[in-house]
Amino acid sequence: MKTLILYYSGTGKTEIVAKTLSSQLSGDLLKVTDHKERNSFKSRIRSAIDAFRENKTKISPKKLDLDDYDLIYVGTPVWMTNPVPAIITAIDTYNFKGKNIVLFATMKNVGGNKAIKRMDEKFQSRGARVINSFTIKTQDKNTSQITGDTLSVIRLLNLNSNL
């Protein structure tokens, strides 16, 4: 069974989780890139609104062949209790039909479960099966703490058994 860890990360915290999953689960790693500028103060406000409204955005890769993958982890930061526009666009663009999905969300403090629920709904409506999910709080945590939390989740949810 081949595994893919697909994610978006703006601050690098979701990327820490994705890279930890990739190294522990021997999965391929693919970052979704959002072509919209989202780092300035004004753009962060617009980005939060985009997430709330589930506005689409231009992403790379535009197309993705998932035929070789049986298990796909999909990770997102949480903006206004929602998945980011790049991940919403990816879910709506790529063909996940028949795939087993594990969802993960990183957040400062709250909103992860709502973001997971929304992604779950979108995946199921597209013929994918969400088999597990988890959230990781990242506020005031450094790289080693986020990595440690991810390792704990891998053990707790027995994610190694999905291999």
Question: What residue segments make up the domains of the chain, in order of their start?
Answer: 3-162
Q: Are 112 and 59 in contact (CB under 8 A)?
A: no
Residue 124: pLDDT over 70? yes
Domain at 3-162: CATH code: 3.40.50.360
pLDDT value for 145: 98
- The more confident residue out of 132 and 81 is 132
pLDDT at residue 83 tops 60: yes
β-bridge partners, 60: 33
Question: What is the Cα–Cα distance from 124 to 97, expressed in whole angstroms?
Answer: 9
Decide: pTM greater than 0.85. Answer: yes
Whether residue 3 contacts residue 28, with contact meaning beta carbons closer than 8 Å, is answered with: yes
What one-letter code names the amino acid at 59? I
Using DSSP, state whether 114 is helix, strand or coil.
helix
Residue 121 has pLDDT above 90, yes or no: yes
Q: Is the per-residue pLDDT at 36 higher than 80?
A: no
Q: Where are the alpha helices (DSSP H) in the chain?
A: 13-25, 41-53, 85-93, 112-125, 143-156
Which pLDDT score is estimated for 157? 94
pLDDT exceeds 60 at position 163? no
Within a 10 A sphere around the Cβ of 138, how many other Cβ atoms?
22
